[in-house]
């Protein structure tokens, strides 16, 4: 997505919703596999969830922070937004940390799948709150 369309409320919100929807779908199938104790398949799903988060979620964050300069330009236009944008960057950082922890857990000999599901739920929740805040703070929110 180009820098210009990130400034567009409906387009940016649609992108957030699409990213969240994909993550929620994967979480549902991981929960089903956990209930069925299908650990081998679950490990593969976890790997693909992490890959999805890295590509779509963290990829979107990188675009906002550096790629398109979306955040910098918003603060440039309105310097009073500086602290709020720092808060949004912290949300990005939290999700990066949670993703790194998931990778560490998945690399262990004895994987704690419940812990990985809990991390996935947290990532989705923080991303949802973050997306709504970002839409409100930088895009004028609910039209």
User: Which parts of this chain interact with Fe ion (CB under 5 A)?
Assistant: 64, 134
Task: Count CB atoms within 10 A of the CB of residue 122.
Answer: 15
Q: How many whole angstroms separate alpha carbon 16 and alpha carbon 54?
A: 14
Q: Which residues have C-beta within 8 Å of that of residue 120, sequence separation ≥ 6?
A: 23, 26, 27, 30, 46, 49, 102
Which residue, 67 or 111, is less far from Fe ion as judged by CB? Answer: 67
Which residue, 17 or 47, is less far from Fe ion as judged by CB? Answer: 17
Task: Count CB atoms within 10 A of the CB of residue 44.
Answer: 12
Which residue, 15 or 50, is less far from Fe ion as judged by CB? Answer: 15
Sign (positive/negative) of CA torsion 26, 32, 33, 34? positive
The least distance separating Fe ion from the CB of residue 16, rounded to whole angstroms, comes to 6
Where does the chain have alpha helices with state H?
Answer: 3-6, 9-35, 39-52, 59-62, 70-77, 82-106, 113-138
The least distance separating Fe ion from the CB of residue 134, rounded to whole angstroms, comes to 5
The least distance separating Fe ion from the CB of residue 83, rounded to whole angstroms, comes to 16
Which residue, 45 or 134, is less far from Fe ion as judged by CB? Answer: 134
Which residue, 45 or 64, is less far from Fe ion as judged by CB? Answer: 64
């Amino acid at each position: 997505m180009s820098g210009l369309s990130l400034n567009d409320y409906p387009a940016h919100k649609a992108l957030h919703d699409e990213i969240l929807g994909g993550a929620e779908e994967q979480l549902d199938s991981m929960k089903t596999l956990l209930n069925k104790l299908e650990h081998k398949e679950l490990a593969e799903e976890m790997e693909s969830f992490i890959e999805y988060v890295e590509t779509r979620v963290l990829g979107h964050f990188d675009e906002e922070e550096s790629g398109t300069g979306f955040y910098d330009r918003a603060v440039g236009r309105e310097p009073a937004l500086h602290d709020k944008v720092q808060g949004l960057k912290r949300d990005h950082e939290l999700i990066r940390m949670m993703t790194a922890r998931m990778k560490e857990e998945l690399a262990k000999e004895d994987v704690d799948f419940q812990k990985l599901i809990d991390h996935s739920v947290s990532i989705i929740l923080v991303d949802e709150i973050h997306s709504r805040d970002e839409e409100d703070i930088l895009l004028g929110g609910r039209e």
